[in-house]
Structures are given as structure tokens and as C-alpha cells.
Amino acid sequence: MSKQGLNEEQFKILEPQMEKWVNRNHYGRKLAPWRPVINTIFWVLRTGAPWKDAPRNKEFSHPSTAHAWLGRMQSAGFLDQFLEELLKIAEQLGCIDAQRLSVDGFFFQRTRRRRAC
């Protein structure tokens, strides 16, 4: 995925899963189109870049929109199911090369407060 986002073939793989999520009973304002949102989420997850650095063009959504969707997807448990399904599809298509796997870590800043004795 480049700064142009996912291609049509990749979207066809994602579409059944995303339609389940988008077509649930949502109340209130109409949801943003899911394709630009998914492009933005995947771009941030793939690059590890901050949300504010996400590309801004018609293929990508506003970073705050994508961040909000990601939070809703995580809290509903959909994100884990979605990623597991994508992994199964990728394995079936032979898209996973075990020779090129890597692991990324999560780092956080230590607080500077001192504890009282």
C-alpha cells in the first residue's frame, strides 16, 4: 500500500468483512465512507507514523475520523476478528512469506513523577 491506498483487488477481499461492520445498526449521523478510513488506518499501522502524518487526499480520510473508527472497532471486538480473517485469507492466497516476518514493539514514555516514601 502506497500513498495511493489499497487497490481494487485488495478492497474486494476486505469488502465482505467491512460491510458487516458498516451495515450494523448505527444511530446518529451517517458514517464516513469506509474505504478512505481503512486506507488511513492501514497506512498508520503499516508505517508506524503518527496519525497527523497520514496522507491527505481523496483516497484517505481525515486522521481523526480514522482514529475514531479504529477505537470503535477495537472496543466492539471487530478489529481482532477482522485481522484474523485477513490473516486467513492471506495464508490461503500464499501472500505471507515467513522469511520476511518482523516484530514491532510498543514503547511508552516513563512518567517523571517520584513516589513519596
Into how many domains does the chain fold? 1
- Per residue in 75-105, pLDDT (tens digit) is 888 888 888 888 888 888 887 777 776 666 6
Cα separation of 44 and 67, whole Å? 10
| Residue 109 placed within a domain | no
- What three-state secondary structure class fits 13? helix
Cα separation of 13 and 115, whole Å? 51
Domain containing residue 14: 8-93
All residues at 6 or more sequence positions from 48 whose CB lies less than 8 Å from its CB, including other chains? 104
Inform me whether the pLDDT recorded for 117 exceeds 60. no
| Residue 73 placed within a domain | yes
